């Protein structure tokens, strides 16, 4: 779309930056909140002959009402679910509006590489909570994908894209009918080869399958299914041809169950949340890399000598009671006597006299001076007397 900062859509959404392809950030002038606008191109049959002053054609109006109905039925103000604001048609485009707090999408985070398994588990736990609430309300999401997940500045994940997914499915059905090749072709053009969007079944079970695909993508950095094209992807999903979930580490068993072809065998969003909570409760403590680095750079003043285990408490002999291999033959004899070539103290080598701590040198010198002065005065008194 053309336009830039300052352009107003639907009489209320003022763009805040230059829009991307079918996507723009804006501010809702009625509420002051930041929103994300997503657009779908409407075919000519939906907008042919439309005059700017005329009402929206009936087909486009049905799409808007269908999207708005889902937005109204979705739970409001859920902490892990981005709120869908509404939909409208403008410039031959069907727009959906969604709140957008500051943050990055999971897709943007993945450009820097895969996430650690436990970090991915934290994000998935947030998404499972959002899905559990949607499913309890009798809704399914249908658009659980990396581009629909927002990771906020506080590190929490929020699931968005609900209205955009509904708009895509509604448009595919409007153009291609409820099923069949035509609908598949329209949907393939809009969705593309994104594995999370092609479950074998819909509804809550399909959302959980998509969550499994997304978890694999977050940890491995790639989809478990080939994404060279929609036909190849759909065939691989149907045949169960995918990368094994062992690459997901501690999340592997859960991902494996989520990707089961039989929806009955998949855990629900509620069960996924419980399992992730247990996994995170047993997660290892984060490593203090700075402390580890300091420990590695510290070197002992003398080489460490491995200790030998004692045999039957026997004393004497060839260093048997010396406590290390470097005590020598005199170690056994020197135990308790201080004799022999070994020190008998477990460090090896000859015994060294104790050193005076530097902190005591000053007081000892001052004390010595006073002692010498006292002796001098005593000598003078004796001779003078």
Q: Which domains does the chain have, with CATH numbers?
A: 8-281 (1.10.510.10)
User: What percent of the chain has a predicted confidence (pLDDT) above 90?
Assistant: 61
The pLDDT of residue 336 is: 39
Give me the mean pLDDT over the 228-250 stretch: 97
> Average pLDDT of the chain?
82
Q: Is the pLDDT of residue 1 over 90?
A: no
For position 340, what pLDDT does the model report?
A: 39
What average pLDDT does this structure show over 165-181?
90
Asked if residue 233 has pLDDT above 50, the reply is yes
pLDDT at 43: 85
Taking residues 235-248, report their average pLDDT: 97
- Say what percent of the chain tops pLDDT 70: 73
Q: How confident is the model at residue 326 (pLDDT cuts 50, 70, 90)?
A: very low
The Cα 80–Cα 123 span in angstroms is 10
The region, left, alpha or beta by phi > 0 then psi within -120 to 50, assigned to residue 286 is beta
Q: Tens digit of pLDDT for each residue in 48-61?
A: 555 555 555 788 88
Alpha helices in the chain (DSSP H): 44-47, 58-73, 106-110, 117-136, 162-176, 181-191, 203-220, 230-239, 252-258, 269-281, 289-297, 331-334, 358-384
Residue 40, SS3?
A: strand
């Amino acid at each position: 779309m053309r336009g830039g900062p300052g352009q107003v859509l639907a009489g209320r959404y003022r763009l805040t930056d230059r829009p991307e392809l079918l996507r723009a950030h804006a501010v809702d002038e009625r509420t002051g909140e930041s929103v994300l606008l997503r657009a779908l191109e409407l075919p000519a049959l939906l907008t042919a002959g439309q005059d700017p002053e005329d009402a929206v054609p009936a087909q486009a109006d049905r799409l808007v009402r269908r999207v708005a109905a889902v937005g109204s039925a979705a739970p409001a103000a859920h902490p892990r679910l981005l709120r869908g604001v509404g939909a409208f048609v403008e410039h031959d485009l069907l727009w959906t509006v969604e709140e957008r707090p500051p943050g990055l999408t999971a897709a943007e985070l993945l450009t820097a590489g895969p996430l650690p398994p436990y970090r991915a588990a934290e994000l998935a736990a947030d998404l499972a909570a959002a899905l559990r609430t949607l499913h309890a309300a009798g809704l399914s999401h249908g658009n659980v994908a990396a581009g629909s997940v927002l990771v906020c500045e506080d590190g929490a994940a929020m699931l968005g894209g609900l209205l955009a997914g509904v708009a895509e499915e509604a448009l595919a059905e409007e153009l291609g009918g409820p099923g069949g090749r035509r609908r598949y072709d329209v949907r393939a053009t809009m969705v593309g080869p994104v594995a999370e969007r092609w479950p074998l079944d819909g509804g809550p079970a399909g959302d959980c399958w998509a969550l499994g695909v997304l978890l694999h993508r977050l940890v491995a950095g790639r989809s478990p299914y080939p994404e060279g094209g929609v036909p190849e992807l759909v065939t691989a999903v149907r045949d169960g041809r995918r990368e094994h979930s062992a690459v997901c580490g501690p999340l592997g068993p859960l991902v494996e169950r989520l990707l089961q072809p039989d929806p009955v065998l998949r855990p629900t969003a509620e069960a996924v949340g419980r399992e992730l909570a247990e996994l995170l409760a047993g997660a290892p403590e984060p490593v203090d890399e700075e402390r580890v680095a300091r420990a590695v750079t510290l070197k002992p003043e003398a080489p460490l000598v491995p200790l030998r285990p004692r045999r039957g408490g026997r004393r004497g002999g060839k260093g048997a009671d010396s406590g290390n291999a470097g005590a020598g033959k005199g170690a056994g004899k020197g135990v308790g006597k201080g004799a022999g070539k070994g020190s008998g103290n477990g460090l090896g080598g000859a015994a060294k006299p104790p050193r005076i701590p530097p902190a005591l040198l000053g007081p000892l010198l001052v004390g010595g001076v006073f002692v010498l002065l006292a002796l001098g005065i005593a000598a003078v008194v004796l001779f003078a007397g």
